[in-house]
Amino acid sequence: MSIQPTPPALSIAGENFGSALMAGTAGYPNRQVMLDALSASGAEIVTVSIRRVDLTGPRESLIDLLTGKYRLLPNTAGCATARDAVLTAGLAREALGTNWVKLEVVGDRETLYPDVEQLLKAAATLTEQGFAVLAYSNDDPITCEKLADMGCAAVMPLGAPIGSGLGILNPYNIETICRRLTTPIILDAGIGTASDAAFAMELGCSGVLLNTAIARADNPVGMAGAMRLAVEAGRAARAAGRIPKRLYAEASSPELGLIGS
């Protein structure tokens, strides 16, 4: 009997990864905690904000610490216009030698929700320029379909506002997006604890990206390990297939042979 190869946990832009968990690098108490948490998470893709990265300084930079260990995913965090996002992506490609970019174009500083008009404009430009665009989006199936149709390498709908820890506020929309699109769907933003990450995978997401839930936890390293297990469990549960929900009880043991029957 031939042994079938184990499929990758996540495939994006022609690259395969053994983990479906993607992690951020912001907000940790210090860099050692960050490195320990990233290791415990099992993540192979790590996001870095170009605004926070010192690409010219003499001391050891964040990039120096991560290069060779992780697939770096620069993001355009803080950009409010398509123009700024495109310029930031170009800087990242030149400095880091990667055409991958997590595209964020935020339209509101209170909610940090995407500006859909500017997001679509930036995504169209960057895909035409040969970028592998992983687009942070609201949880609107129509917007997500448009991003996929443009050729984005992945679509990343939010579960809840960035850093809120509220979990997945609209699971119906997330499940609809996953069902409609063949493009990888990465749940991004809002994760608060391990059960949220597992739920995202059970809904059909290809992966989960999170930062604050680990970085701001009482024990970031411990939470990173929990997130790793949660994503693996959710992915396995989705593959196994849950039982249907019922409005009434159904005994798991047969009634045949009961006394008095």
- State residue 254 phi and psi, 5-degree precision: -70, 150
Q: Domain-by-domain residue ranges, the chain?
A: 19-240
Taking Cα atoms as reference points, which of 192, 210, 200, 184 lies closest to residue 232?
200
Q: Which residue has the higher pLDDT, 161 or 56?
A: 161
Span 202-207, mean pLDDT? 96
Tokens linked to 197: 């990450």
Positions annotated as catalytic residues are 102
pLDDT in tens, 131-187: 999 999 999 999 999 999 999 999 999 999 998 999 999 999 999 999 999 999 999
Cα 181–chain centre separation: 16
Architecture of domain 19-240: Alpha-Beta Barrel (3.20)
Q: Judge whether residue 261 has pLDDT over 80.
A: no
Listing DSSP states for 13-46 in one string gives TTEEES-SEEE---S-SSHHHHHHHHHHHT-SEE
Query: Model confidence at 223, in pLDDT bands (50, 70, 90)?
Result: very high
Q: Above pLDDT 70, what percent of the chain?
A: 90
Span 202-222, mean pLDDT? 96
Cα–Cα distance for residue pair 252/261, rounded to 1 Å: 17
pTM of the model: 0.88
pLDDT in tens, 71-119: 999 999 989 999 999 999 999 999 889 999 999 999 888 888 999 999 9
Across the chain, what does the average pLDDT equal? 90
Taking Cα atoms as reference points, which of 111, 105, 171, 169 lies closest to residue 137?
105
Q: Judge whether residue 196 has pLDDT over 70.
A: yes
Q: Judge whether residue 52 has pLDDT over 80.
A: no
Tokens linked to 88: 């930031």
Least confident of 15-29, 49-63, 108-122, 204-218: 49-63
